[in-house]
Amino acid sequence: MCGIAGIIRTSPNSTNSIAKSILGEMADQIIHRGPDESGIYCDEIVGFSHRRLSIIDLSSGQQPMFSPSRDISLVFNGEIFNYIELRDDLIKKGHQFITQSDTEVIIHLYQEYGLDFVQYLNGQFAIALWDSRQKRFVLVRDRVGICPLYYTNENGQLIFASEIKALKPALANGLTLCKETLDQIFTFWAPVSPNTIFENVFEVSPGQMLVIENGQLNSHKYWDWQFSQDDYLQSSESQQAEELHDLLIDATKIRLRADVPVGAYLSGGLDSSVLVAMIHHYGGVPLRTFSLNFSEAGFDEKSYQSSLIQHLQADHSHLMVKTEDIAQNFKQTIYQTETPILRTAPVPMGMLSSLVRQNDFKVVLTGEGADEVLGGYDIFKEAKVRQFWAVNANSSFRPLLLKKLYPYLTLPDSGQGTYLKRFFGEALEQPDDICFSHLPRWTTTAKAKRFYSQELSAELSGKSKDVMLRSLPEALKQMHPFNRAQYIESKSLMAGYLLTSQGDRMLAKNSVEGRFPFLDHRVIEFANKIPPKYKMKGLNEKNLLKKAMAKYLPAEIIDRHKQPYRAPDMKAMTGDYLGEELRHHLSVSEIEKNGLFDGSKVKFLMKKADSGKALSIPESQALVGILSTQVIIDQFI
């Protein structure tokens, strides 16, 4: 994982020159993304800077990279996993290569196919390309949003970078918090793309290409998750499982391509266990794994990790996370996420990547994406039960099916149906709402807004859901409800939170690259043609993945109840754990100075938390969200 940044003049009337010193300062802000090498290129129209994490072709492949005639220049963050096959095809077409790098393949692909070059890439990438002959500038991001890419327009210039902090040296007026985006985060856990927490700073959305020609900026989506009932596979369940098996093997093998050692994260869950098993059986590399353990038993999965480690004889390292570690690493984590968060889960992930780096690894494979692609999340089960429940909303039996999803949920001895309906009965009368699957989660999260100040509440439009709806395609209405839920999850929580705050940022902070075989676009496109009844059979999640991989894994891994990754939230943010520095950010004076939250309500919340009383889910999310917002203001504004 590297870091890129740059500036392009978009207006011929702009008097601003592009200074190498500014490009250098931009690169310095993201040195953690690429500590191995740096490079800068600058002319009167465009300036590029690059920080390199050397993984492929260590001796060459420096960036910015140029075509032989130097009319095309490029900086690139990420990996092109099929670069060997692409290179061979291009050589057959007459192209000559100087390096062995995947970066050079991008330049030749562009020369051969123009803007269609991106369709040939199997990888994770953020690319900035300048074609001086065509006077064309291109920004493009990978299909699902693994590699981050941000931009803003100021004084006739477009300024871009892998992280928002790298934009700051080029900005005349600094950064300003966007209150509408804050409201989106306090509803969906993440901004609605392309928004960010900062005014007039946007992300290049997953699967999007921006092109500037003749001073005009145009964008188009070159790829998206497609679901069509007309395209469902007609083959048998066993045939589909076999095809998924073969696809995942290849997706994993090409992600092991590197000139440095490659490891893997092992949580003890099905997804990471599948990956580790595939590396063991087909990777041809030593099996090296890394995992988190927690001092609080409710968060720990050590027994399942140990089962697989023993089964495959992996060389394994683990990190024990204590509750006090969460608060101690919180500010550093927020500096990397560059956005408020509602859960502390990213903090241990940053600690885990530190363990990886301490063991001299730069690359790890992880299991992110399997739940979204193959139907694994409890939210999909909830939606399935709620759709069944909605047919007879007055049923006392149907909501009790939700008990099967959460065996660890403590329910009262009597009135269980009423209790469950309070949590999951949101919009039960609107089963055709395209966001039906996600309304309970969003409604629960939005209760944290009770801690807004009166001024903020009055200023906000209260229409975050409308913003989300406008971001969704019309085709969503025709999708199967299960696929609809998958689409929304992939575009909101996965892209906006899991792959950024909890993924890329927590890896890159310690100069580690994550690779995600389940997010190979070929796997996604295949899975999107699988009928929902095979993805989730009854309430058995990831049914097809289990069928495809059962022969490699112990039964206790295949049959275990899904346990979502979590970290201590409320306990880590209260009492002696919190510490004076973080507690200062939650003081009435600091809260009221920033004007976003109600100081007296936050004080009451802290008093309740410090007393040891249990916080509700919205209260816990509010506490983490308020603190992280206060830290963002302190660090960036």
User: What pLDDT is recorded for position 576?
Assistant: 80
User: What pLDDT is recorded for position 407?
Assistant: 61
User: What pLDDT is recorded for position 417?
Assistant: 58
- Per-residue confidence at 415, pLDDT binned at 50, 70, 90? low
- Per-residue confidence at 231, pLDDT binned at 50, 70, 90? confident
Whether the predicted pLDDT of 2 surpasses 90: yes
Q: Which DSSP symbol is given to 452? A: B
Query: Taking Cα atoms as reference points, which of 629, 635, 636, 598 lies closest to residue 179?
Result: 629
- Per-residue confidence at 521, pLDDT binned at 50, 70, 90? very high
Determine the residue type at 329. Answer: N
User: What pLDDT is recorded for position 418?
Assistant: 64
Task: Name all contacts of 150-153 with Cβ < 8 Å and 24+ positions apart.
Answer: 150/196, 150/201, 150/202, 150/203, 150/204, 151/201, 151/202, 151/203, 151/204, 151/210, 152/200, 152/201, 152/202, 153/10, 153/200
User: What pLDDT is recorded for position 420?
Assistant: 67
Mean pLDDT across the stretch 341-370?
97
Whether the predicted pLDDT of 562 surpasses 90: no
Do 569 and 299 touch, CB atoms closer than 8 A? no
Q: Mean pLDDT over all residues of the chain? A: 93
Average the pLDDT over each of 404-413, 439-448, 463-472, 503-512 and give the range with the smallest value. 404-413
Mean pLDDT across the stretch 598-608?
96
Q: Which two tokens stand for residue 403?
A: 């008990």
Q: Tell me what percent of the residues of the chain surpass a pLDDT of 70.
A: 97
Mean pLDDT across the stretch 488-496?
96
Query: Taking Cα atoms as reference points, which of 552, 521, 50, 549 lies closest to residue 254?
Result: 521
Concerning whether 2 is annotated as a catalytic residue, the answer is yes
Q: Tell me what percent of the residues of the chain surpass a pLDDT of 90.
A: 81
Question: How do residues 452-487 score in pLDDT, each as one tens digit?
Answer: 999 999 999 778 999 999 999 999 999 999 999 999
Mean pLDDT across the stretch 631-637?
97
Question: How do residues 54-105 score in pLDDT, each as one tens digit?
Answer: 999 998 999 999 999 999 999 999 999 999 999 999 999 999 999 999 999 9
Q: From the annotation, which residues make up the binding site? A: 102
E strands, 100-185, are: 123-131, 136-141, 150-154, 157-161
Residue spans of alpha helices (H) in 375-463: 378-390, 416-424, 439-446, 454-459
Mean pLDDT across the stretch 115-133?
98
- Per-residue confidence at 430, pLDDT binned at 50, 70, 90? confident
User: Which are the contacts of 48, defined by CB distance < 8 A and separation ≥ 6?
Assistant: 4, 5, 6, 23, 39, 40, 41, 42, 63, 64, 73, 74, 75, 128, 130
User: What pLDDT is recorded for position 144?
Assistant: 98
Q: Which residue has the higher pLDDT, 398 or 342?
A: 342
Q: From CA 449, how far away is CA 257, in angstroms rounded?
A: 46
User: What pLDDT is recorded for position 413?
Assistant: 57
User: What pLDDT is recorded for position 416?
Assistant: 57
Question: How do residues 241-252 score in pLDDT, each as one tens digit?
Answer: 999 999 999 999
Q: From CA 423, how far away is CA 421, in angstroms rounded?
A: 5
Query: Which domains does the chain possess?
Result: 3-174 (3.60.20.10), 177-195+226-447+461-564 (3.40.50.620), 571-636 (no CATH)
Whether the predicted pLDDT of 408 surpasses 70: no
Partnered with residue 77 across adjacent β-strands are 126
Helices and strands: H and E segment counts in the chain:
26, 17
User: Which are the contacts of 341, defined by CB distance < 8 A and separation ≥ 6?
Assistant: 189, 334, 497, 501, 624, 625, 628
Partnered with residue 161 across adjacent β-strands are 5, 150
User: What pLDDT is recorded for position 298?
Assistant: 83
Alpha-carbon distances of 630 from 490, 499, 558, rounded to whole Å: 28, 23, 42
Relative to beta strand 202-203, strand 363-365 is unpaired
Question: How do residues 17-61 score in pLDDT, each as one tens digit?
Answer: 789 999 999 999 999 999 999 999 999 999 999 999 999 999 899
User: What pLDDT is recorded for position 409?
Assistant: 54
> In degrees rounded to 5, what are phi and psi of residue 265?
-80, 140
User: What pLDDT is recorded for position 214?
Assistant: 84
Whether the predicted pLDDT of 283 surpasses 60: yes
Mean pLDDT across the stretch 321-339?
96
21 SS3 class: helix
Do 147 and 140 touch, CB atoms closer than 8 A? no
Mean pLDDT across the stretch 385-390?
87
Whether the predicted pLDDT of 578 surpasses 90: no
Q: From CA 553, how far away is CA 376, in angstroms rounded?
A: 18
Mean pLDDT across the stretch 560-564?
82
> In degrees rounded to 5, what are phi and psi of residue 427?
55, 30
> In degrees rounded to 5, what are phi and psi of residue 314?
-80, 150
User: What pLDDT is recorded for position 191?
Assistant: 98
Q: Which residue has the higher pLDDT, 527 or 571?
A: 527
- Per-residue confidence at 412, pLDDT binned at 50, 70, 90? low
User: What pLDDT is recorded for position 561?
Assistant: 81
pTM: 0.96
